Structure 1
Amino acid sequence: MSATHTPTDHRRNVLRRRIRWIVFATIGYNLVEAIVAITAGTIASSAALVGFGLDSTIEVLSAAAVAWQFTRRDPERWEKSTLRVIAIAFFALAAYVTATSLIALISRVEVEHSPVGIAITALSVVIMPFLSLAERRAGSELGSATAVADSRQTLICTYLSGAVLIGLVLNSLFGWWWVDAIAGLVIAVFALREGVEAWRGDACATSVGMILEDPADPHH
């Protein structure tokens, strides 16, 4: 179904500024998240936490690509190349999570209780969905495939946060060290699929169409 609403030039400028602020906030939060998670993971000998922190750097790459695009005079001109960067970020995330999950399952490294790790992953589970939703709505109304793709990257990172959080809690309570590794493998499959669709450039258009078909006011 074709879109029934086309933003005015003023509205498009508002949406572009909104997307810039969202990705700047995402970059800032993920930089802090990466430092805290990698430090806590190193102290606790947690491959999951270290992987979570390194994943945050991939999210920074994706958000930075979108931020760069929307500082250009003609953002639409850079749509395809930015989508490719986001796709590569998805592939890197899938590869890394798969590798670290398999290593964790094979090596069975003893992981110490990490209150800081639990706190940062729990905070991410709360914050990241709001950033993802805000960027997806703005990107959908603007018709920006890259903004929608980046919002999906943020959402995948939210799932990873939840998986690591569950793994840390269950490991602390019951010694179930393998839970976050299994969840990581499942997330890697989704990340790979999103990467393929972003590379093709067609998945984001599907998401845009689905949201524009929503009877809710797009300005809401």
Structure 2
Amino acid sequence: MPSNRLIVALDLPDVAQARDMAATLGDAVSFYKIGMELAYGGGLALVEEFSRAGKQVFVDLKLHDIGATVEKATAQIARLGARFLTVHAFPQTLAAARRGVGDSPLQVLGVTVMTSYDDSDLAACGYRLNVRDLVALRAKQAQEAGIAGLILSPEELVATREAVGRALLLVTPGVRPAGAALGDQKRVATPAQAFARGADYIVVGRPILAAPEPRAAALAIQAEIATATS
């Protein structure tokens, strides 16, 4: 369903504000992301709560540690009933997360390159590959690890979709409605552009949360998705 393809990032400091925002958005949104800020403010309790209310939940913790730790952490998230969990797309981390999923319906998404990074940022971190080539490598490694999908910016969608076909879900942050502020994002697109390039889901936070009328902002994006995917 097109309405399920918008994931609203509840990048809020506490559970009370997250509940209030979800109540404000109501049936305009059926899929939420709980990231580090909210998770560390007690937000993991919302995974089960939202799931019972018929919502889907994406836990965005970007796990990366030794294999045993990632495997056990993934198993804990799986018990909460989340739909998606992110880990950094390093081969050992991907493999460990896949083991942690077990027989649960949890789907692991590998974070390729953060949308706030560009080629110069990767060079400063010591990478010899540029963004495009590193994302391509991560996509190949994700397929080999047998995980469900990738997190990647709109700029890499076309090449990645051509490379992986429908074998991987492509989930795209860095999405901004036309005219919205970019914030700390460097590789962005509008919702319609993201789906035209091959996205399965988009993640949107501030353009909805900071809008004067968040529900209206979410409905406008849903309408754009419906047009782009019809």
Higher relative contact order (CA 8 A, sep 6+): 1
Identify, as 1 or 2, the structure richer in helix: 1
Structure number with bigger Rg: 1
Question: TM-score, length-normalised on structure 2?
Answer: 0.26
